[in-house]
Amino acid sequence: MVFSSTLFLFGFLPLTLAGYYLCLFLDKKIFKDRKIFGNYWLLFMSLIFFAWSQIGYVWIIAASILINYTGALLIYSGREKNSLPDSAVQVRNPIGLTAEDSAVQVRNQRKGLKVNKRPEKLFLFLTVAANLLLLFYFKYFDFTIATVNQIFKTGFSLRNIVLPIGISFFTFQAMSYTIDVYRNKAGVQKNPFKLALYVMLFPQLIAGPIVRYTDVEAEIDERSVSIDDFSDGARRFIIGLSKKALIANTMAVTVDSIWGQGIENNTVAIAWLGAIAYGLQIYFDFSGYSDMAIGLGRMFGFHFLENFDLPYISRSITEFWRRWHISLSSWFRDYVYIPLGGNRKGTLNTYRNLFIVFLLTGIWHGAAWNYIFWGLWHGMFMLVERAFRKPGGSTAGHVNVSVIDTGSRGRSGPEVSQMSKENDVFENIKVLIRHVYTLLVVLIGWVFFRAGSLSEGLWYLKTMLGRALGQTPGYSVMWYLDGWTAFILVAGIALSLNIPGFLLRKTGFETDRILNIKVKKCEEREVQGKTEVKSEVKSEVKSEVESEVESEVESEVESEVKSEGNPAVCTFARDIALILLLLLSVMRIVSGTYNPFIYFQF
């Protein structure tokens, strides 16, 4: 079951919401702020959600929960046994020694006593090993056997194991809980059903984002769901559904048609169309699903962190990985890169750690050599960018503003203005070059990600470069571009590059968005008088917009405060647009039978 299906939209989701809010009503009447019935209802519906497609694999996620629940308890019990009671420290408190001095003496004596942490480390090792073994068997066992057969010419039979949905996501999520308990960053959860709810919560179960236990620990027991939370979550869900149903699914038809016709039927233009369309498909597919997950979480009172931040506007591969699949990249940073030493142990060790992280990133995405190559492809450019990074953390492509300012001191008039214009042009050219470089690297990487094998990816790349064209291609690029597809292609490129936001900033209308964000604050302050509201909003907006549009911002703020109907009109217009997007998305889902989801297999 996926979010963009009629079964989910018209069956599972309404039933889950109705039952959940009924349970919240009962919880409030019986348990006050504690979410007892609400948690059990979400756990029950999450179990149905997971079991709908693979009921025979429910035991796998149950085993994952049991492994990490037991491991965290053992780590906690080992810590409790190793904790030193006050009686273990003999403190002499002579006359005249203050309580503060006595406490310092206790701490100093405690430091001298060794605490045996070996049991905790052993329990952590066994828990992580059990998680990885479970993941390895179901995801990588057949791949390993096939690789051994290919290299050593052996004939071991494959098991043809069916991959459980979401196993990479819920395994990493459950492991982060145990590791954080070991690090004392998270409290141990003694109620197995609450831990099961954290691991199995259906909005993020099969495709993330990878939620840390520390992010939702407090919300498992105490959370509030206001009308604003629900409406914001619903809006976010509709945006994600629109990304998936309108853009990703349309691009998927084009991509699969191009790859399905065979590389020999491609021209250079068709090959580039296929690569660009796939880049849009995977971005709007995955970010749309993350938007839906975050929106659903808000509707149930959970606040998940963002997973995408306009990755295609990046100017380096390093920046790309700060914006793409943020929950995964931060997971590898915190649980692999930093424990290996990060960048604290010299250049060579830093390169080694980055290599390991991106090797594991490729392996995590799929049990095939093209995924591994994709991970190493990105890792290679990360290493190159780090090698050319200037001291102090800036890359070679950045302009040092302080140098420009210093060089212009003592000059004034037309000369400074001319220098400023030349510097702006030069900087814009460098930014454009870096942006194009990043997009090319990412698109080439997506070719190997989409290919069925490493050799197929190389052949497709040759076609893009005009080096492996068929003798008589049977199709032209217009064969794949009807009116709707061309419109969605242009819209997808514009949205992924944030061109609408860029135009709004250039024209000054971006202030409308800023003002809408502050509508709630304005309404709260309205009781204090319109004059006070106006001055506060003006000062806040000025701090958030560029200096060159200050005058425009002030006029927008004044008109917004004077006309109380404007925020309501903007909100009404936005909601009407979202309703239209929802209707159009549902029509596309109901009328079409093609609704793939790329990350469903991970």
Q: Which residues contact 25 (CB under 8 A, 6 or more apart)?
A: none
User: What phi, psi does 117 have (nearest 5°)?
Assistant: -100, 5
Least confident span in 115-119, 155-159, 218-222, 408-412: 408-412
Tell whether 214 is covered by a domain: yes
Residues 457 and 558 placed together within one structural domain of the fold? no
Tell me which residue of 55, 205, 64, 56 sits closest to 134, measured CA to CA.
64
* Tens-digit pLDDT profile for residues 365-396: 999 999 999 999 999 999 999 998 865 554 44
Residues 330 and 447 placed together within one structural domain of the fold? yes
Residues 199 and 315 placed together within one structural domain of the fold? no
Has residue 13 got a pLDDT over 90?
yes
Query: With contact defined as beta carbons under 8 Å apart, do 586 and 9 qualify?
Result: yes
What average pLDDT does the segment 156-169 reach? 90
Residues 13 and 120 placed together within one structural domain of the fold? yes
* Tens-digit pLDDT profile for residues 490-499: 999 999 999 9
Residues 430 and 378 placed together within one structural domain of the fold? yes
Which pLDDT value is given to residue 391? 58
81 compared with 205, residue with greater pLDDT? 205
Q: The domain containing residue 60 runs over which residues? A: 1-83+116-223
Query: With contact defined as beta carbons under 8 Å apart, do 316 and 434 qualify?
Result: yes
DSSP string, 429-468: HHHHHHHHHHHHHHHHHHHHHHSSSHHHHHHHHHHHTTSS
> What percent of the chain stands above pLDDT 70?
76
Strand partners, 389: 395
Which pLDDT value is given to residue 116? 60
* Tens-digit pLDDT profile for residues 247-279: 999 999 999 999 988 887 888 999 999 999 999
Strand partners, 395: 389
Has residue 199 got a pLDDT over 80?
yes
Tell whether 431 is covered by a domain: yes
Least confident span in 19-28, 155-164, 528-537: 528-537
User: Does the annotation mark 325 as catalytic?
Assistant: no
Residues 378 and 511 placed together within one structural domain of the fold? no
Tell whether 270 is covered by a domain: no
Handedness of CA 204, 205, 208, 209 (dihedral sign): positive
Residues 53 and 192 placed together within one structural domain of the fold? yes
Tell whether 303 is covered by a domain: no
**pLDDT bucket at 526, cuts 50 / 70 / 90:** very low
Handedness of CA 561, 564, 568, 570 (dihedral sign): negative
Among residues 223, 243, 277, the one where a domain terminates is 223
Distance from chain centroid for Cα 475? 37
Residues 50 and 184 placed together within one structural domain of the fold? yes
| 462/470 Cα distance (integer angstroms) | 11
**pLDDT bucket at 416, cuts 50 / 70 / 90:** low
Cα angle 589, 288, 442; round to 5:
120
Among residues 182, 199, 223, the one where a domain terminates is 223
**pLDDT bucket at 310, cuts 50 / 70 / 90:** very high
Which pLDDT value is given to residue 535? 44
* Tens-digit pLDDT profile for residues 442-454: 999 999 999 989 9
Burial class (CB in 10 A: 0-12, 13-18, 19+), 92: exposed
Number of domains in the chain: 3
Residues 548 and 458 placed together within one structural domain of the fold? no
Residues 529 and 465 placed together within one structural domain of the fold? no
Using the CB atoms, write b or e for 128-166: b if 16+ within 10 Å.
bebbeebbeebbbebbeeeeeeeeeeeeeeeeeeebbbb
Has residue 473 got a pLDDT over 60?
yes
Tell me which residue of 414, 350, 354, 353 sits closest to 381, measured CA to CA.
354
Tell whether 296 is covered by a domain: no
Q: Which residue in 365, 378, 398, 435 is the catalytic one?
A: 365
Tell whether 26 is covered by a domain: yes
**pLDDT bucket at 29, cuts 50 / 70 / 90:** confident
Which pLDDT value is given to residue 35? 84
**pLDDT bucket at 478, cuts 50 / 70 / 90:** confident
Which pLDDT value is given to residue 468? 74
Has residue 515 got a pLDDT over 50?
no
Residues 518 and 453 placed together within one structural domain of the fold? no
Residues 323 and 382 placed together within one structural domain of the fold? yes
Which pLDDT value is given to residue 327? 95
